[in-house]
Amino acid sequence: MLEIIKIIGAVVSALSGLSALVLMAIKPFRQWILGGVKARARRNEELERAKETDRCLLRNEIISIYYKHQRDGEIKQYAYENMALLYRQYKRLDGNSFVDRAWEEAQDWTILKN
């Protein structure tokens, strides 16, 4: 009986030691994985903020061109091409709002050769 208790004690001790060793080995991996998840979330957040900044800048430039030429209903060819490039990029960044209306209105303007 004493022999069985010694064997059980040895097994429990070995399992405890093995568990501690496994936990020590897993902790750095767990922290590495969680750190990677947090870093990815931070990068995604920063990317979204940068996209929003780009949308604001593009929207501002498009609207500036629009108001500069709205009254005359005429726009020089290069200014129109620039506005078209800005608008396409704005839409690629999921831009929406009144810029669509400004762009639609600009389609009816007279395009002057440079």
pLDDT tens track for 17-64: 888 777 677 777 777 777 777 888 899 999 999 999 999 999 999 999
pTM of the model: 0.68
- Ordered by start, the domain boundaries in the chain are 2-112
What pLDDT does residue 78 have? Answer: 96
For 76, which DSSP code? Answer: E
CB atoms within 10 A of CB 41: 10
Q: How far apart are CA 98 and CA 73, in angstroms?
A: 18
**Spatial contact of 97 and 59, defined as CB atoms under 8 Å apart:** yes
Mean pLDDT computed over 97-102 = 90
